[in-house]
Structure formats: C-alpha cells, structure tokens
C-alpha cells in the first residue's frame, strides 16, 4: 500500500497499460448486463442521433464510449506534457479522469455529454495554446466552433461559451478581433444547421423545439455508493483546493493562470448542473476534467506519508465498491 502512489505516479509502461486497462476491466461485466442509461436529455438533433445509435448498436456504442474515456484521459496527460502546469510528467490526470468519469456515472454507453466533453477539452487546448501567441490569435475561432459543435450534441455545453470568454480575459490582453473570432465560431455551426433545415424543407422551429427539450428535468437515482463517493470527492476537493492555495506563491505564472482557467471550468460545470434541469449526471464528464488536474497536482506535490497513500487508495477502493454495488 505504501508504494501504490509512487508506482501510479511514475511514467512506466506498466502504469500506462494499467490505467488504460482500468476502464476496460470496469466495462467487461456491463457487456453481460442491461445497460445503465445515464440521466440526461438528448434534446438537440445530434444528441438524438447518438441516443438512437446506442439503442441500435449497443456493443459498438459501449466500445466507442470506452475508447473516448481513454482518449480524454490521454488528452489531459498531453495537455500537461505540453504546458507543464503540474510540475511533473505524470499519468495521474488520466488515472483520476477515468476513476471519476466511469465510477460516478455508472454508464457504459456513448452519451452526448461524453462526446461534448471531449470537444471542450480541445477548447482548453486552444485557449492554453493562445497564452503566449504573438499578435492576434485565431485559436478563439477554433474554440468558438468547438463550443458550438459541443452544444449541438449536448445543448447545456453552450454555457461554456462564457467559459471561453473568461479564458480569453484571463490569458490574453484585450483585442476585439479575438472576441469577434470567438463569436463567429459560435454562430457558424448554427447558421449551417439552419441552412440545412431550410434547404431540406424542414421547419426551422424544430430546432427551437429540440433546444427546449434539453431543459426537461431528468430523474436522477443515485446509488448509496455514488453518494459516498461524491462525498469523498467533495472532501478531497476542499483538501486539494487548500493545498493549491498554499502553493500559489511557489507556482510559475503560467501554471497559476492555467489552474485559474480550470477553476472557472469547474464552476461553470457545477452551475450548469444546478441551473439547467436537463443537464443531468452527464456533467460528471465535464467536472472530472478540472478535478483530475487538481487531484493530480496534489498527489505530485504532497508528502509521501501513510495519510496521503490512504487518500489515494480510497479512490481505487471507491471505484471498486461502485462496480460491485
């Protein structure tokens, strides 16, 4: 037990394989059970297509969901490899993302929220890449497009356009052209969708009907193991946040700013879940992104003692409990 954190925190090939196999092993029993449908509304057209795909191609859908969870974890590792906001090249972001995402949702099916969350991770990539860009950065056009596409799959993701603007404020000096790029990126996919509806002689009002469906309240039934796990995550969020606040003075400027962007991402994820009735538990895929980075920072920088080893082990134990409960 005392060597668990040190082992997972390394970059050994065996650790990479272990983290990659973790969701695979977690998924296997689900192939022989009735699928657990995650509590979220389909709403918009692309979201409805994904839900329909799940119903007709269950095994393929499950495989794609598994692949996407692994990819999202890998994207977080690469984000830190490029920008080094966690002061070590580590596999922990992937470990925590996988642990939080698959344990908390209990779903093994492809969902609109999961796909949308991948697009928003790419938004973070574009924002971070613009941090030291000389002159006008076109990254915000790409980021606006990605947010717009994410909202056409999972409409609550539209709120993250405000997150994009917040990231622009935090990382870039004011330039009206970059703000214009972001707005254009948001508008273009919707303009294209309305054009397709018009050319196909489909009533455009159907789009607004789909959007309104995204606000329908979903019934959420949490298992006792999920409630306990979320309580532990909340406790560790407080511990990790206090640790982060204590370490701010010793952090590099870019790392402080990037974690501030993650904080805004986290706050938007929580607000969307609380304010939009149709968001449902799919928001776990969003909130897991900043939490994975915060928890990774803590376990990279914390003292190697039995208390922190126990803290870390609890994440694995709770994941196992949610699987068998």
Q: Tens digits of per-residue pLDDT, 232-246? A: 999 999 999 999 998
Beta strands in 96-252 (DSSP E): none
Look up residue 226 and give its two tokens: 């999920």
Is the pLDDT score of 105 beyond 50? Answer: yes
Concatenating the DSSP letter of every residue in 72-101 gives HHHHHHHHHHHH--SSS--SHHHHHHHHHH
Report CA dihedral (308, 311, 312, 316) to the nearest 10 degrees. Answer: 160
Per-residue DSSP letter, 33 = S
Q: What's the CA gap between 250 and 273, in Å, rounded?
A: 33
Q: Provide the b/e sequence for 167-187 (b: ≥16 CB within 10 Å).
A: bbeebbeeeeebbebbeebbe
* Mean of pLDDT values over 295-308: 88
Of 63 and 182, more confident: 182
* Mean of pLDDT values over 168-189: 92
Q: What's the CA gap between 138 and 308, in Å, rounded?
A: 43
Q: What's the CA gap between 3 and 12, in Å, rounded?
A: 14
What sign has the CA pseudo-torsion 204, 210, 211, 213? positive
- Give the mean pLDDT of the chain: 84
Rg, the chain, Cα only: 20
Is the pLDDT score of 263 beyond 60? Answer: yes
| Predicted pLDDT at 87 | 86
In the block, which residue shows the tokens 């539209």? 158
pLDDT band at 110 (very low <50, low <70, confident <90, very high): confident
Of 30 and 174, more confident: 174
| Predicted pLDDT at 304 | 80
Distances (CA, A) of 132 to 36, 83, 158, 162, 206: 44, 11, 26, 21, 42
| Predicted pLDDT at 29 | 64
Side-chain half-sphere of 30: how many Cα atoms within 13 Å?
Answer: 24
Spacing of C-alpha 271 from chain mean position: 14
* Mean of pLDDT values over 287-315: 90
Q: What's the CA gap between 86 and 76, in Å, rounded?
A: 11
Look up residue 279 and give its two tokens: 């968001």
**CB-CB neighbours of 19 under 10 Å:** 23
pLDDT band at 264 (very low <50, low <70, confident <90, very high): very high
pLDDT band at 325 (very low <50, low <70, confident <90, very high): low
Q: What is the pLDDT of residues 206-228, one digit of tens each?
A: 777 777 777 777 666 677 778 88
Q: What is the pLDDT of residues 1-56, one digit of tens each?
A: 447 777 777 777 777 787 877 777 777 766 655 555 555 566 677 888 888 888 78
Nearest-5° angle of CA 80, CA 149, CA 166?
55
Side-chain half-sphere of 91: how many Cα atoms within 13 Å?
Answer: 21
pLDDT band at 109 (very low <50, low <70, confident <90, very high): confident
pTM: 0.90
| Predicted pLDDT at 1 | 44
Given a contact cutoff of 8 angstroms between Cβ atoms, the answer to whether 258 and 128 are in contact is yes
| Predicted pLDDT at 303 | 84
Q: What is the pLDDT of residues 125-143, one digit of tens each?
A: 999 998 888 888 889 999 9
Q: What is the pLDDT of residues 271-286, one digit of tens each?
A: 998 888 777 788 899 9
Of 4, 288, 278, 25, which Cα lies nearest the Cα of 159?
A: 278
Contacts of residue 192, defined as CB under 8 A and 6 or more positions apart, other chains included, come to: none
Given a contact cutoff of 8 angstroms between Cβ atoms, the answer to whether 76 and 289 are in contact is yes
Look up residue 40 and give its two tokens: 């979220």
């Amino acid at each position: 037990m005392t060597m668990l954190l040190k082992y997972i925190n390394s970059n050994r090939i065996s650790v990479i394989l272990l983290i990659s196999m973790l969701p695979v092993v977690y998924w296997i029993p689900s192939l022989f059970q009735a699928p657990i449908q995650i509590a979220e509304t389909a709403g918009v057209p692309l979201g409805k297509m994904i839900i329909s795909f799940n119903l007709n191609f269950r095994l393929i859908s499950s495989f794609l969901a598994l692949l996407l969870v692994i990819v999202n974890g890998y994207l977080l590792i690469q984000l830190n490899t490029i920008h080094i906001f966690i002061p070590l090249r580590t596999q922990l972001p992937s470990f925590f993302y996988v642990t939080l995402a698959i344990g908390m949702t209990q779903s093994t099916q492809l969902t609109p929220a999961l796909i949308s969350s991948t697009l928003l991770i790419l938004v973070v990539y574009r924002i971070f890449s613009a941090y030291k860009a000389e002159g006008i950065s076109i990254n915000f056009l790409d980021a606006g497009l990605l947010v717009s596409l994410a909202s056409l799959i999972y409409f609550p993701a539209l709120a993250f356009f405000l997150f994009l603007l917040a990231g622009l404020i935090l990382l870039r000096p004011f330039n009206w052209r970059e703000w214009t790029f972001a707005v254009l990126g948001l508008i273009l996919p919707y303009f294209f969708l309305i054009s397709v509806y018009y050319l196909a002689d489909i009533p455009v009002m159907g789009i607004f009907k789909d959007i309104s469906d995204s606000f329908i309240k979903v019934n959420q039934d949490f298992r006792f193991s999920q409630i306990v796990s979320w309580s532990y995550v909340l406790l560790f969020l407080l511990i990790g946040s206090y640790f982060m606040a204590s370490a701010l003075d010793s952090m590099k400027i870019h790392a402080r700013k990037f974690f501030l962007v993650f904080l805004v991402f986290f706050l938007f994820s929580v607000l969307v879940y609380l304010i939009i009735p149709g968001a449902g538990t799919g928001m776990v895929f969003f909130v897991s992104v900043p939490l994975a980075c915060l928890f990774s920072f803590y376990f990279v920088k914390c003292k190697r003692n039995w208390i922190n080893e126990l803290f870390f082990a609890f994440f694995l134990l709770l994941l196992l409990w949610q699987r068998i409960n």
